Amino acid sequence: MSSKTSPKCKFINGTSLVLGIISVIVRMFSLSVAGEPYDMLHKLDGNNIVPPVWMLNLLLNLAYFIAGYAAGIVSNTIASGNVNCEEKMSAYRGGMYFIAAYFLTLIHYPLFFVSEKLSASLIVIVITLISLIICIYSWAKFSPSAAMILTVYFIITIYLFFINLFILMNN
């Protein structure tokens, strides 16, 4: 961002909080439809590497809140109007990859924990990680704070990748 057009981006804002909360609600709805993963984890001997389900759910809810919050920061920065065309394109490009990663993460839970499609869910997580890398890179040019927050979501997704990989390799 150029120094002339840098918007004053507040770290805490209403849009970010609302998008974060909506993201958690969407994830909770997905969980209620897909069901709990207890049987699958026990059957595939995943209990050894996965934290208790309540902790995993808390971690995933945190990830979804963080993702929505980061999207809110980008949305507010664009709405400020103090950005140039190149910065908007970077934000929109990152936004497309963000949406892809967000919905792929939603698909991963029922695919892995309910349907037990371990290979397919690993492919979904790899595509999600690639989408997040591109999104973080694009948003870092436009809104470093959103990119930094989204990095936490990326780290949680890496953890899901290793859970998926470990269970796949042991079954």
Domain residue ranges in the chain: 14-169
Residue 34 CA to residue 37 CA, distance in Å, equals 9
Tens digit of pLDDT per residue, the chain (171 long)?
Answer: 444 444 444 555 677 778 888 888 888 887 777 776 666 666 766 667 777 777 877 888 888 888 888 888 888 877 777 777 787 888 888 888 988 998 898 888 888 877 778 899 999 999 999 999 999 999 888 888 889 989 999 998 998 899 889 888 887
Global pTM value: 0.79
The answer to whether the CB of 15 falls within 8 A of the CB of 75 is: yes
- 129, 151 Cβ separation under 8 angstroms: no
Q: How far apart are CA 7 and CA 164, in angstroms?
A: 40
